Amino acid sequence: MRIRKGLDRRFIPRGYIPVEVKGLDGQFCEACGDGFWSLKSERKITQALTEHMAKEDARRIVASELASVAEAAKLLGVTRQAIHKMMNEGRLRYVQTPSLRLPIREFLEQAERKPWKAHRKPAARPSKRASSRSARVQAK
């Protein structure tokens, strides 16, 4: 495995136009090219993909599929700040409008099934390899 830095990669979330994420680091096999991103880069990818999809979703998701931040906070039993943080980090899918971000209901329902608290203190630190799956954000 060889550490590589400053990589630019093109990602194509299923059903969306491609997005380029720049300045990524990771470790890759010199023979086959398989490898994984650094934790920091994984977060950057997740955030970039969520942001990218949020802009496109603004043109195709109908208003009834969206929730307000206040409503999302109430549904999940967390603060509004927590909802903003989840959106900032790409952990909650949302739609970007010119003035605000609105959580997508479908993804709130998923978050409800997996209570937020369960993610706060993981029993064991996930391996870099296992957590690399989280970078592959899938659209419906």
4 versus 84: smaller Cβ distance to Zn ion: 4
| Long-range own/partner contacts, residues 124-127 (CB < 8 A, 24 or more apart) | none
Which residues in the 31-70 window bind Zn ion by CB under 5 A? 31-32, 34
Q: How far is the CB of 26 from Zn ion (least distance, A)?
A: 14
The site for Zn ion, by CB under 5 A, has a size of: 4
Task: Measure the CA–CA gap between 121 and 70, rounded to whole angstroms.
Answer: 25
Q: How far is the CB of 27 from Zn ion (least distance, A)?
A: 11
Per-residue x/- track, 17-36, Zn ion (CB under 5 A): ------------x-xx-x--
Q: How far is the CB of 7 from Zn ion (least distance, A)?
A: 17
* Cα-trace Rg, the chain: 16
Task: Measure the CA–CA gap between 53 and 65, rounded to whole angstroms.
Answer: 15
Query: Helix crossing, 69-76 with 105-113: angle to 10°?
Result: 20
13 versus 35: smaller Cβ distance to Zn ion: 35
Other beta carbons less than 10 A from residue 13's beta carbon: 17
The footprint of Zn ion (CB under 5 A) covers 29, 31-32, 34
